[in-house]
Amino acid sequence: MPELPETETIARDLDASIAGRCIVSVVVTKSDVLREVSAAELLRRLPGATISRCWRRAKLVVLDLDIGDRLVVQPRFTGALLIDDGTLAESERRFSTLALTLDDGRLLHYRDIRRLGTVSLMSPPRFASYSAALGVEPLDPALSAERLSVLLRGSRQAVKKVLMDQRVVVGIGNIYANEALWRAGIDPSREARSLSSGESEALHHAIVSVLTESIEARGTSFRDYRDASGGRGGFVEKLAVYGRGGLPCPHCGARLVATHAIDGRSTVFCARCQE
């Protein structure tokens, strides 16, 4: 967490709220979140820069700056980009690792309780190289059902593990891999190469539908995820399997199985519905 729907929500919120704003000053309180840039360099290069666009790539939130650089934030488990107009709760400000003061008086905090996320400042060539090592976007038309089938056929690993491999398909983490595989009726432990073209098509449809629906619900909040205004995502109410081990399958009523056998991550599935 956050995965694609959560970072997409954050990026859209930021683009609507702070694109066009100039950075007046920068305060770094926890420099251990910084990558590829020092605190001193960040304080030197960012003031005076205008945020021209905010967008998402994979599980990253990207802020394009008019100086050519990109501020690249990977929130990971407990990170959040929060706009502070003076009303942000002190409990959120307490874990701010850096804050950008904007020309309208608001602040943009990168809050990270466990400080497992990262903030990088990248030049366009560096970002292009970094992005090129990532897989295809699951909501991009370039990832057709046929293309997904090709990607899966090349791996003997469990299909769930392949879906979560950011070098293959980006943005899908544990929550949405569980949900998509349940919707498609596919056992998460099956070898990816064993899926038929029909199963790959069903999985493609499930991936697109679950990600799209979650974006519409502004993501999934269990504990730490917050949107740019500090709000919680509403998709948690629509989860069919994730976090529901031992409860009835919404489709057939059988008890959902929870295991950590696949890559040590929590996997929940229906042994009756998923083959």
DSSP symbols for 222-266:
SSS---TTSPPPBGGGG-SSTT-TTSBPTTT-PBPEEE-TTTTS-
Dihedral, 33, 37, 42, 45 alpha carbons, nearest 10 = -160
Per annotation, catalytic residue among 59, 70, 218, 226: 59
Classify 153 as helix, strand or coil: helix
Q: Which of 58, 57, 49 is nearest to 18 (CA)?
A: 49
Catalytic site residue 179?
no
The verdict on whether 2 is a catalytic residue reads yes
Residue 246 corresponds to which tokens in the numbers above? 């031992």
Contact present, 3 and 172 (Cβ < 8 Å): yes
Closest by alpha carbon to 135, among 55, 212, 58, 56? 58
Q: Is there a catalytic annotation at residue 30?
A: no
The answer to whether residue 3 is catalytic is yes
Which residue in the list 45, 76, 265, 272 is annotated as catalytic?
Answer: 265
Q: Which residues are catalytic?
A: 2-3, 59, 265
